[in-house]
Amino acid sequence: MNQDELAAKIYITRSTYSAYETGSKVPDIQTLDALAAIYNIGFESLVNHDLSKGLLSRIYFDSEDRQLAELLNDYESLSVASKNVIMERLDVLLEREAVFYQEFAYPNKNMKK
């Protein structure tokens, strides 16, 4: 869905919607509620985003990487507690990956001479 189509669905102009994406304008509660309904996400997910970074345009309107968009949308619909659990688990996985790639890149480093 492009900006014109989305703006028409929530009864605003494309330029107003564009201003929301760039962070130069903040949407009102009714607009946020309409966006949440269109994308079937929690209202809290939209409210917690920093619109000035243009995150919404990357997550919700980029059709090239649908899997990443779906993953990010799912993450953003979680409670803060659930997000913290995911971040803790992600840290563990990243540490494991770092160890694996370190051993893979330098296999003889750990061998005794």
For 47, residues 6+ apart whose C-beta sits below 8 A from its C-beta are 32
Tally Cβ neighbours within 10 Å of residue 54. Answer: 14
pLDDT score of 1 more than 70: yes
pLDDT score of 23 more than 70: yes
Q: What is the mean pLDDT of residues 59-79?
A: 68
CA atoms within 13 A on the CB side of 93: 6
Tokens of 17: 């919607």
Distance CA 2, CA 17 (A): 11
Q: Output the average pLDDT for the chain.
A: 77
- Closest-CA residue to 46 (of 68, 67, 30): 30
Q: What is the mean pLDDT of residues 59-71?
A: 61
Q: What is the mean pLDDT of residues 48-60?
A: 50
| CB-CB contact of 7 with 13 (8 Å) | yes
